[in-house]
Amino acid sequence: MLACPAVSQQFVIQGGHALAGTVTPTGNKNAALPILAATLLTDEEVVLENVPDILDVHAMLAILDDLGVSVREEPDGALAFRADTIRGTVLDPDLCRRIRASVLFAGPLLARAGSVTLPLPGGDFIGRRRIDTHLIAFRALGATIDTPDRAYAMSHAGLHGAEIFLDEASVTATENVVMAAVLANGRTTILNAACEPHVQDLANFLVALGAQIDGIGTNRIVIDGVERLHGGRFRIGPDYIEIASFIGLAAITGSDLVVSEARPDDLRMILLGFGRLGIHVEWLDGGALRVPPDQSLEVVQDEGRAIPKIDDGPWPAFPADLTSIATAVATQARGEVMIFEKMFENRLFFVDKLVAMGARIILCDPHRVVVSGPAQLYGERVDSPDIRAGMAMLIAGLAAKGTTTIGNIGQIDRGYERIDERLRTLGARIERVDD
């Protein structure tokens, strides 16, 4: 597994070179994190395949280890978990500060141990990320919640089913409710549920352990609680955000890239959004897709020659995690396009770094930018403020003229497994060096 990089490490990229070859996506980061938390729901062994080797996974593993869960790596690279004894239910604040997904331990610990004390979670500074939806749902299931200093102390005398309408289609709230409800007494119906591919992966994992869940992939999920879950083996699906990142990277570098293990159903809206920038892909046999080289990137105008927009939203809308990458790609497409990030008010603040590289971008307000392209990008010294902005700047650096240096690359390592090594196999000129 990946060792934590030194804080002073950086990527040095020589841009302007086309890549070629085949890349295999890693396991879905946003599926792996809740599934790791869900291993607490059974005292039997759970084996997970295709767990991405990224820093966010290591942060979750550190919390599991602190709770007393044993983890071992199998010869085939799978990870085996055994939560036969839970050491405690008070989560370590320092460990939780490392990752936003620490909030996902609340549901499993409530269901399995009867209580949990959850410190304030950490994560990307991309805007306010409320947990009110989680708390409202837990109370509906029978939990009582106190709020000592910078923590949420939750407990119950017995979780029971309920009909819960989520006040927002929150991914992590949906996942937390599902994990708590699978061991609750009676039926739980979640309305306005999130239904992203990673939410589906979590639900399918729980079904493999004996949970009774209907409506997977819809915004109405019905869970009939069971007395206990058993062990099992499960393979985490491919990361469609990473696949889309490679598509964008290939398109603006003129690369001939094949991405294996792509699922068409995960990419429908993504390909529509990228299509507005002139990107097209070819589907190959066996679930692979090809990004042909030398694409003519041109913004497709709306009817009446209106400037189009790429806007995000809950599934099946264009994913919020790709707005940064779409912005970087748009700098190389002829025409004007608006990127409308509706969900997080700080995510687009990284665009000043692209502007420093030569991009023509107007920041209209915290949620909207207008990009005019194509613009010649030039190498620059930048820092990564979050996972997706870091990847966007890496993509821009590969398309830029000259040398780009990206600092704070631990942010990129949080979500992309050994990205420098994998890109070098495709011909990228990228090195990881000490600052």
| Closest by CA position to 280, among listed 321, 317, 250, 310 | 250
Q: What pLDDT sits at residue 109?
A: 98
Is 124 catalytic? The answer is yes
Q: What is the mean pLDDT of residues 174-199?
A: 98
Alpha-carbon distance of 281 to 251, in angstroms, equals 9
- Structural tokens at position 202: 């979590």
CA torsion sign, 378 to 379 to 383 to 386?
positive
**313 CB-near residues (< 8 Å, 6+ apart):** 320, 342, 343
Q: Does residue 356 carry a pLDDT above 90? A: yes
Q: What pLDDT sits at residue 130?
A: 75
| Closest by CA position to 30, among listed 213, 179, 238 | 238
Q: What is the mean pLDDT of residues 417-427?
A: 98
* Residue 6: pLDDT band with limits 50, 70, 90: very low
Alpha-carbon distance of 354 to 323, in angstroms, equals 14
Strand 256-259 to strand 20-23: parallel, antiparallel, or no bridges (unpaired)? parallel
DSSP reduced 3-state for 174: helix
Alpha-carbon distance of 50 to 124, in angstroms, equals 24
The per-residue pLDDT for range 299-338, each reduced to its tens digit, is 999 998 889 999 999 999 999 999 999 999 999 999 999 9
Alpha-carbon distance of 200 to 251, in angstroms, equals 29
As a whole number, the mean pLDDT across the chain is: 94
Strand 381-383 to strand 429-434: parallel, antiparallel, or no bridges (unpaired)? unpaired
Checking 64-72 for CB contacts under 8 A at 24+ apart, the result is: 64/36, 64/39, 64/40, 66/91, 66/92, 66/95, 67/40, 67/91, 67/105, 69/39, 69/40
Q: Does residue 244 carry a pLDDT above 80? A: yes
Q: What pLDDT sits at residue 3?
A: 47
Q: Which residue has the tokens 């699922």?
A: 263
| Closest by CA position to 274, among listed 304, 303, 305, 295 | 295
Q: Which letter does DSSP use for residue 324 in this model? A: H
Predicted TM-score (pTM) of the model is 0.95
- Structural tokens at position 394: 């890496």
Lowest mean pLDDT among 52-66, 68-82, 118-132: 118-132
CA torsion sign, 35 to 66 to 155 to 232?
positive
Q: What pLDDT sits at residue 5?
A: 47
Alpha-carbon distance of 269 to 380, in angstroms, equals 32
- Structural tokens at position 115: 């209580």
Q: What pLDDT sits at residue 120?
A: 83
The dotted CATH code for 29-235 is 3.65.10.10
Q: What pLDDT sits at residue 361?
A: 98
Q: What pLDDT sits at residue 7?
A: 54
- Structural tokens at position 11: 């990527």
On whether the CB atoms of residues 324 and 339 are closer than 8 A, the answer is: no
The per-residue pLDDT for range 147-175, each reduced to its tens digit, is 877 789 999 999 999 999 999 999 999 99
User: CA angle at residue 354 from 353 to 355, to 5 degrees?
Assistant: 90
Q: What are the sequence ranges of the domains in the chain?
A: 9-25+238-434, 29-235
* Cβ neighbour number for residue 418 with a 10 Å cutoff: 15
- Structural tokens at position 285: 């046999």
Q: Which residue has the tokens 């913004």?
A: 299
Identical topology for domains 9-25+238-434 and 29-235:
yes
Q: Does residue 134 carry a pLDDT above 90? A: yes
Q: What pLDDT sits at residue 278?
A: 97
The per-residue pLDDT for range 376-410, each reduced to its tens digit, is 999 999 999 999 999 999 999 999 999 999 999 99
What whole-number percentage of the chain has pLDDT above 90?
90
* Residue 2: pLDDT band with limits 50, 70, 90: very low
* Residue 123: pLDDT band with limits 50, 70, 90: low
Q: Annotated catalytic residue: which of 43, 65, 124, 352?
A: 124
Alpha-carbon distance of 190 to 185, in angstroms, equals 15
Q: What pLDDT sits at residue 1?
A: 57
Report the first-to-last Cα separation within the chain, whole angstroms.
23
Q: Does residue 4 carry a pLDDT above 60? A: no
* Cβ neighbour number for residue 425 with a 10 Å cutoff: 11
- Structural tokens at position 230: 């058993």
**18 CB-near residues (< 8 Å, 6+ apart):** 253, 254, 255, 256, 293, 427
Q: What pLDDT sits at residue 14?
A: 98
Strand 163-165 to strand 151-155: parallel, antiparallel, or no bridges (unpaired)? unpaired
Alpha-carbon distance of 102 to 92, in angstroms, equals 10
Query: What amino acid occupies position 237?
Result: G
Q: Which letter does DSSP use for residue 39 in this model? A: G
Q: What is the mean pLDDT of residues 28-44?
A: 98
Distance of CA 229 to the CA centre of its chain: 26
- Structural tokens at position 111: 């269901």
What whole-number percentage of the chain has pLDDT above 70?
97
Phi first, then psi, for residue 135 (nearest 5°) are -65, -40
Topology of domain 9-25+238-434, CATH: UDP-n-acetylglucosamine1-carboxyvinyl-transferase; Chain (3.65.10)
- Structural tokens at position 192: 């306005």
